[in-house]
Amino acid sequence: MKIDRIEVQPGYSISRVIKGGWHLAGGHGSIQEQKAIEDMRFFVEAGITTFDCADIYTGVEELIGQFLRQNKDAFRAGELSPVQIHTKYVPDYDALSTLTQADTEAIIDRSLQRLGVERLDLVQFAWWNYDTPGYVEAALHLAELQQKGKIRHIGVTNFDAAHLEEILQAGVKVAANQLQYSVLDQRPVNHMDELSHIHHIPYLCYGVIAGGFLSDRYLGAPDPAKPLENRSLVKYRLIIDEFGGYDLFQELLVTLRRIADKYDVGIAEVACRFMLEKSTVAGIIIGARNRNHLAKLQRLNSFSLDEADVKAITDVQAEATGPFGPVYDLERDKNGKHGSIMRYNINGQ
Res 323: pLDDT: 97
Res 74: pLDDT: 98
Res 324: pLDDT: 95
**Contact residues for 238 (Cβ-Cβ < 8 A; gap 6+):** 337, 338, 341
Res 204: pLDDT: 98
Please report, to the nearest 10 degrees, the dihedral formed by the alpha carbons of residues 192, 194, 196, 200 taken in order.
180
Write down the domain spans for the chain.
5-341
Res 289: pLDDT: 67
Res 283: pLDDT: 98
Q: With 0.85 as the threshold, say if the pTM is over it.
A: yes
Q: What is the pLDDT of residues 159-177, one digit of tens each?
A: 999 999 999 999 999 999 9
Between CA 164 and CA 212 the distance in angstroms is 29
CATH superfamily of 5-341: NADP-dependent oxidoreductase domain (3.20.20.100)
pLDDT < 70 stretches in the chain: 26-30, 289, 349
Res 348: pLDDT: 78
Report phi then psi at 340, rounded to 5.
-70, -15
Beta strands 5-9 and 12-15 are antiparallel
Res 39: pLDDT: 94
Res 304: pLDDT: 98
Beta strands 203-206 and 281-286 are parallel
Q: What is the pLDDT of residues 232-279, one digit of tens each?
A: 999 999 999 999 999 999 999 999 999 999 999 999 999 999 999 999
Res 349: pLDDT: 64
